[in-house]
Amino acid sequence: MTLSNYEAAQTEPANVPLTLESGKPVGLLRRGVEVFAENKLALAGVAVIVVFLLFCFIGPLFYHTDQIHTNLLNVTMRPGGAHPLGTDGSGYDQLGRLMVGGQTSLEVGIAAAVLATFFGTLWGAISGYLGGWIDAIMMRIVDGLLAIPALFLLLFLATIVTTSKTILIVVIALVSWLGTARLVRGESLSLRVREYVQAVKVMGGGGTRAVLRHIAPNAVGTIMVNATFQVADAILTVAALGYLGLSIPPPATDWGGMLSTGLQYAAVGYWWLIYPPGIAIVLVVVAFNFIGDAMRDAFEVRLQRR
Amino acid sequence: MTGYLIRRVLQSIVVLFLVTVIVFILLHLLPGGPARAILGTRATPAQIALFNKQNGYDLPWPAQYGVWINQLIRGNFGFSIKLNQSVASLIANRLPKTLVLTVLSTVIAVIVAVPLGVLQAARRNKPSDYVLTGASFIFYSTPTFFLGLLLIIWFAIGLGWFPPEAPQGSTFLQILEDPKGLVLPVATLTLVTVALFSRYARSSIMDNLVEDYVRTARAKGAGEGRVMFKHVLRNALIPIATLLGLSLPGIFSGTLITESVFNYPGMGLLFWNSTQDQDYPVLLGFTLIVGVATVVGSLLADIAYAVLDPRVRYVLT
């Protein structure tokens, strides 16, 4: 289910230096900007995410709705009038709910991805740099955790703890750092034997210096690409948990939870309870995947030359 | 080759051991410990003490692990008090049904994804490639349950072509008797998997198209069709074996969702119901079985890879 894990499995570190035709090295930032400017899909992705961030976080400042108290006189009203997207089964305004739910989905998704990337990077970098049997043990632990499907582990953990935003973030991060760890380990294994890292050692530089000043900056591209895919995956995971009823308790909600309640009305055709949250999830996840894809092109010259 | 196989098998054994350790840790993460979790909140201290004594939970941790593993090897995965059935018999009943779903959808996904990948690689950066890439991104980014429900809304409620619910047979042969009911669940899982596989097939074929042997084939006068199907495809398909092994956890997760959407009586649905009932023996047993299935699956995939591709054998030995 996770694209980031496949990335980890198939990526071979690009062994080509970042140079233009003239042979002059370019900064990662400039190269990134160039590729983004050319790649319309990535630009569209950024636009979609900006729009959704504004909609979810700034929108409620202008569009005031009561998302705390249920209103049983106003349940499942068709779109129109005071409720542009109608109301749901508890009488909440659907458009306002889309904003509040989006806040949870985006916050949890992004925070979980950042946490997972951070921990995975640390684990992978240490494992790859130390090598030997420590590396072997650390990577077998990753393999063991990867073998258990994330959703099974998540559901299990969710039965033990009561869910809140923070718990959701930690639990999702707990099952998603594995792909990053594998990827970064591969990267640091290959960077460790590169000439410039060897040169640091010859000149008397210590291990910390080699990792922080030379290995980490060169792995940044890979890590950022992975982090972007992680966000997409995490948002999907939040939605899946919401659907399975393991999201944060009401009156708070997320897009997955909204979909899950809306689906009870699938047979009677209350489309406004189903399509808006569903399409919101798809749009945001597609956007993050487009950006990740473009960033991979930006950082990997090997793919770019095609 | 033999060296590689031995190393790979040993590695899998280590991973299997770690999977059991992880599940063992989960067992002890249970609220109030395993006895409280399994006997329920109304168990008396005496009952808990008896349970702990009988199941070896009063021993030190390593010994507890030993007792537990010993039970597992004998096929004793625990007993579900809530369902009044042993977990092993539940697995025996549910696993084949889940396999029907996963195997069918994975096979169809490979059959559909490979030609799509060929088409995309042959027409790379042309409109048809863009359309298919866009479609695979959209399918990949759609939550499985949303896709399943859209299919239900459109094809079961709207058009009435297929039943909205999966077949409800109690054995797996009864499930197969109702192929119409299988269409939507299998389609859901297939669409998500195709999106991933076709993208992978596309990039794998494109990696191969720039190889020297392709130039040689062209220089010898082979047409594009022959180059693609006789030379490139064979090489490009081998990594799909590894991909299959790697996707197993994802496919199992997808199955869990699909089963709960279509009320398909497989392992995933039972697992989900068990989380609602807090039926921990079932949860632990299923987690373990799925983990073991994944490890064995990836091992088989890697062995297939080594058998199919002589270059791998050469590099790895």
Which residues does chain B have within 8 Å of residue A273's beta carbon, measured at their own beta carbons?
none
Closest CA of chain B from A163, distance in Å: 14
Is A16 within the bounds of a domain?
A: no
What is the model's pLDDT at position A114?
92
What CATH code is carried by the domain that includes residue A168? 1.10.3720.10
What is the model's pLDDT at position B312?
61
Interface test with B, best of A151, A231, A285 (most B CBs within 10 A): A151
Closest CA of chain B from A285, distance in Å: 5
Q: Which of residues 175-234 of A touch B (CB under 8 A)?
A: 232
pLDDT in tens, B214-233: 788 888 877 777 777 877 87
Is A4 within the bounds of a domain?
A: no
What is the model's pLDDT at position B314?
57
Burial status of residue A122 (CB atoms within 10 A of its CB: 0-12, 13-18, 19 or more) = middle
pLDDT in tens, B228-261: 787 787 777 777 777 777 778 888 888 888 888 8
| B245 touching A (Cβ < 8 Å) | no
Average pLDDT value for residue range A200-227: 77
What is the model's pLDDT at position A116?
92
Is A9 within the bounds of a domain?
A: no
Average pLDDT value for residue range A215-241: 83
* B22 against A87, higher pLDDT: B22
* A17 against B265, higher pLDDT: B265
Out of A232, A244, A266, closest to residue B152 by CB: A266
pLDDT in tens, B35-83: 777 777 777 888 888 877 777 777 777 777 777 787 778 877 777 777 7
Is A113 within the bounds of a domain?
A: yes
What is the model's pLDDT at position A15?
41
Instruction: Say which amino acid occupies A71.
Output: N
Which residues does chain A have within 8 Å of residue B287's beta carbon, measured at their own beta carbons?
148, 152-153, 156
Domain count along chain A: 1
Check A149 against B252: CB less than 8 A apart. yes
What is the model's pLDDT at position B290?
84
Task: Evaluate if residue A16 carries a pLDDT over 50.
Answer: no
Mention every residue, 6+ apart, whose C-beta is less than 8 A from residue A184.
A120, A121, A123, A124, A125, A128, A219, A222, A223, A226
| B142 touching A (Cβ < 8 Å) | yes
List of domains in chain B: 31-76 (no CATH), 91-316 (1.10.3720.10)
Check A158 against B275: CB less than 8 A apart. yes
Closest CA of chain B from A66, distance in Å: 27
Domain containing A265: what range?
26-64+85-304
Is A72 within the bounds of a domain?
A: no
What is the model's pLDDT at position A29?
67
Which residues does chain A have within 8 Å of residue B23's beta carbon, measured at their own beta carbons?
148
**DSSP string for chain A:** --HHHHHHHHPPPP-S--B-TT--B--HHHHHHHHHHH-HHHHHHHHHHHHHHIIIIIHHHHS----SS--GGGTTPPSBTTBTT-B-TTS-BHHHHHHHHHHHHHHHHHHHHHHHHHHHHHHHHHHHHH-HHHHHHHHHHHHHHHHS-HHHHHHHHHHHS---HHHHHHHHHHHHHHHHHHHHHHHHHHHHTSHHHHHHHHTT--HHHIIIIIIHHHHHHHHHHHHHHHHHHHHHHHHHHHHTT-SPPTT---HHHHHHHHGGGTTTT-GGGTHHHHHHHHHHHHHHHHHHHHHHHHH-HHHHT-
What is the model's pLDDT at position A8?
44
Which region among A98-102, A214-218, B131-135 has the lowest average model confidence (pLDDT)? A214-218
Average pLDDT value for residue range A148-160: 80
Average pLDDT value for residue range A211-225: 76
Average pLDDT value for residue range A169-174: 88
Check A152 against B286: CB less than 8 A apart. yes
What is the model's pLDDT at position A5?
46
What is the model's pLDDT at position B220?
83
pLDDT in tens, B156-207: 777 778 777 777 776 777 767 777 778 888 888 888 888 888 888 887 887 7
Which residues does chain B have within 8 Å of residue A245's beta carbon, measured at their own beta carbons?
276
What is the model's pLDDT at position A111?
93
% of chain A exceeding 70 in pLDDT:
84
Which region among A44-53, B111-120, B220-229, B287-296 has the lowest average model confidence (pLDDT)? B220-229
Question: In terms of DSSP bridges, do strands B85-86 and B79-80 run parallel, antiparallel, or are they unpaired?
Answer: antiparallel
Average pLDDT value for residue range B76-99: 80
